[in-house]
């Protein structure tokens, strides 16, 4: 049986590499048997890992793939693909296990296709995926990556291309472009917030496009999309947000639930999804069609190694809420106290751009060049102010911080057009949009962001008053277990 064979081979490989390799991630053999079982039975399996587990689990996924005869499409992010090619494949080869990978969609004769999400979409659209089983590590990112692969963005050059293709439409296009420009300029959110576009805002453009065929790309895809399954917005180009009166903006469109547009992707084929998710998350196993709509036959939680020391958490009582007029002053005062006397790197995480830039300026006035904004070249005792997404993308390139300061918890804002549209769709279904979508996603991001503090003697400070002032704050504290409360800051 494949499970027993894979278990034996992985155990022999780990024994050959020594005890230290086995200690790296303690659930290798369990993951190996789960993946082998799913490949043999051609069913759907979800393996949930503790956020921050690291890539050590990848070996337990690859050994069954090397031994199985099933046709498989392995969907990897660029970082995990690099690790596979540079680390894991030589490791398997040294143990006498061959894993021949065909990079990109190939012939039916290639047993294992190594795909990016964009190549998965290409194979699905082209009908070349066939009955291949899907193996998708980092599945917690699949929703966002599929959405990015299906997203559309129209810039000024696209409007010019359409006008050249249909000169008769040029005057009407110029008038529509001018109307949208005035809407962008009048948007109360200013240059930091995108302008959501309702179907009625896009109706004149859609009607005009319907009069002229054929349409050049990406207009053809733009016209073919739309409706309740998509969300659209206009946004100023980043390079032009602070360049005077010139207004350069772009149109964006993304699907709300990407897998709903890939109807049948998981039907008739086996699938193994490995995801790092918070314990309360239903992102992949939600009710009915929630999240990705993936309902597995087998769902297993494989926790990380036991945590030895509790994480010190500084979260004072009676902090102001983020919508309080004095919240910015509160952040600056607390961050000054937290940074004083610190010999290591301090990281401050805030997604609100205005609040983050204001705090960065205030701290720079106090601590000078130690304070940087989203820079990977900070001093050893520097202070980095950044978005949550920036830190999650760059934490592997930076030294571990001695403290992480949470200015705002990573709860998605309803000012984001995509988040607002997703919440509206859940509201229409009578669902608890906060506890089903926003809170679990935020807890996962929080756990991923603070992984480096564990066991390093670092501390976490949460200055968001919602932690103590909202009932769901208990779930946030539960996601940090084990932790110990720092009632006051010791003097430097």
Q: Return the SS3 of 177.
A: helix
Rounded Cα distance, 212 and 224, in Å: 14
Q: The domain at 311-485 falls in which architecture?
A: 3-Layer(aba) Sandwich (3.40)
Asked if 2-147+260-302 and 311-485 have one fold, the answer is yes
pTM for the predicted model, two decimal places: 0.85
Q: Which CATH number fits domain 2-147+260-302: 3.30.1330.60, 1.20.950.20, 3.40.50.880, 3.40.50.300?
A: 3.40.50.300
Sign of the torsion formed by the C-alpha atoms of 189, 193, 194 and 198 = negative
Q: 249, exposed or middle or buried, with CB in 10 Å at 0-12, 13-18, 19+? A: buried
Rounded Cα distance, 473 and 434, in Å: 13
**DSSP string of 64-124?**
HHHH--S-EEEE--HHHHHHIIIIIHHHHHHTT-----EESS--TT-SEEEE-HHHHHHHH
Apex 386 CA angle, 381 and 391, nearest 5: 90
Nearest to 119 by CA among 146, 101, 92: 146
**DSSP code for 434:** I
Rounded Cα distance, 376 and 382, in Å: 11
Mention every residue, 6+ apart, whose C-beta is less than 8 A from residue 178: none
Q: What is the pLDDT of residue 88?
A: 93
Phi-psi region of 378 (alpha: psi -120 to 50; beta: other; left: phi over 0): beta
Nearest to 87 by CA among 124, 43, 56: 56
All structural domains of the chain with their residue ranges: 2-147+260-302, 156-236, 311-485
Q: Tokens 């709509």 map to which residue?
A: 293
Q: Tokens 């000054």 map to which residue?
A: 336
Rounded Cα distance, 490 and 492, in Å: 6
Q: Is the peptide bond before 249 cis (omega within 30 degrees of 0)?
A: no
Under a CB-based contact definition with an 8 Å cutoff, are residues 318 and 464 in contact?
Answer: no
Q: What is the pLDDT of residue 390?
A: 95
Q: What is the pLDDT of residue 176?
A: 92
Q: What is the pLDDT of residue 386?
A: 97
Rounded Cα distance, 345 and 379, in Å: 8
Please give the chain's pLDDT, 492 residues, in tens: 899 999 999 999 988 887 554 446 788 999 999 999 999 999 999 999 887 777 889 999 999 999 999 999 999 999 899 999 999 999 999 999 989 889 988 777 789 999 999 999 999 988 899 889 999 999 988 888 999 999 999 999 999 999 999 999 999 999 999 999 888 888 776 556 788 998 888 999 999 999 988 999 999 999 999 888 899 999 887 654 444 445 689 999 999 988 888 878 888 899 999 998 765 445 554 444 434 446 788 999 887 655 557 899 999 998 999 999 999 999 999 999 999 988 899 999 999 999 999 999 999 999 999 999 999 888 889 999 999 999 998 988 888 999 999 999 999 999 899 999 999 989 999 999 999 999 999 998 999 899 888 767 789 999 999 999 999 999 999 999 889 999 877 654
Q: Return the SS3 of 267.
A: coil
**DSSP code for 372:** E
């Amino acid at each position: 049986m494949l499970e027993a064979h894979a278990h034996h081979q992985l155990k022999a490989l780990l024994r050959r590499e020594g005890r230290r390799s086995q200690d790296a991630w303690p659930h290798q053999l369990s993951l190996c048997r789960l993946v082998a079982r799913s490949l043999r039975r051609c069913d759907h399996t979800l393996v949930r890992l503790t956020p921050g587990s690291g890539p050590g689990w990848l070996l337990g996924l690859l050994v069954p793939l090397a031994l199985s005869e099933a046709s498989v499409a392995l969907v990897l992010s660029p970082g995990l693909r690099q690790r596979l090619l540079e680390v894991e494949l030589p490791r398997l080869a040294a143990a006498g296990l061959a894993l021949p990978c065909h990079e990109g969609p190939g012939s039916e004769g290639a047993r294992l296709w190594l795909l990016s999400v964009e190549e998965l979409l290409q194979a699905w659209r082209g009908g070349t995926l066939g009955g291949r089983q899907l193996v998708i590590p980092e599945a917690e990112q699949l929703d966002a990556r599929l959405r990015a692969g299906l997203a559309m963005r129209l810039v000024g050059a696209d409007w010019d291309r359409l006008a050249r293709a249909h000169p008769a439409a040029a005057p009407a296009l110029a008038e529509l472009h001018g109307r949208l420009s005035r809407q962008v300029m009048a948007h109360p959110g200013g240059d930091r917030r995108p302008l959501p576009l309702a179907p009625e805002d896009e109706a004149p453009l859609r009607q005009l496009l319907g009069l002229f065929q054929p349409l050049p790309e990406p207009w053809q895809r733009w016209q073919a999309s739309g409706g309740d399954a998509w969300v659209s917005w206009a946004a100023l180009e980043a390079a032009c947000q602070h360049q005077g009166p010139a207004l350069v903006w772009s149109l964006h469109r993304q699907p709300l639930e990407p897998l709903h547009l890939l109807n049948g992707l998981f039907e008739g084929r086996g699938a193994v999804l490995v995801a790092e998710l918070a314990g309360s998350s239903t992102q992949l196993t939600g009710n009915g069609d929630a999240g990705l709509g993936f309902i597995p036959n087998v769902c297993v939680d494989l926790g990380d190694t036991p945590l030895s020391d509790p994480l010190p958490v500084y979260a004072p009582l009676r902090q102001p809420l983020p919508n309080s007029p004095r919240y910015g002053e509160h952040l600056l005062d607390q961050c000054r106290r937290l940074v004083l006397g610190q010999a290591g790197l301090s990281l401050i995480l805030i997604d609100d751009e205005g609040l983050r830039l204001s705090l960065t300026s205030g701290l720079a006035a106090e601590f000078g060049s130690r304070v940087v904004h989203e820079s990977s070249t900070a001093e050893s005792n520097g202070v980095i102010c950044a978005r949550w997404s920036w830190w999650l993308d760059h934490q592997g390139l930076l030294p571990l911080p001695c403290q992480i300061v949470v200015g705002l918890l990573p709860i998605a804002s309803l000012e984001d057009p995509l988040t607002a549209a997703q919440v509206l769709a859940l509201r229409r279904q009578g669902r608890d949009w906060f506890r089903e979508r926003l809170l679990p996603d935020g807890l996962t991001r929080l756990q991923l962001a603070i992984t480096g503090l564990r066991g390093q003697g670092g501390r976490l400070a949460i200055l968001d008053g919602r932690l103590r002032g909202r009932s769901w704050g208990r779930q946030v504290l539960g996601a940090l277990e084990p932790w110990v409360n720092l009632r006051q800051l010791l003097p430097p």
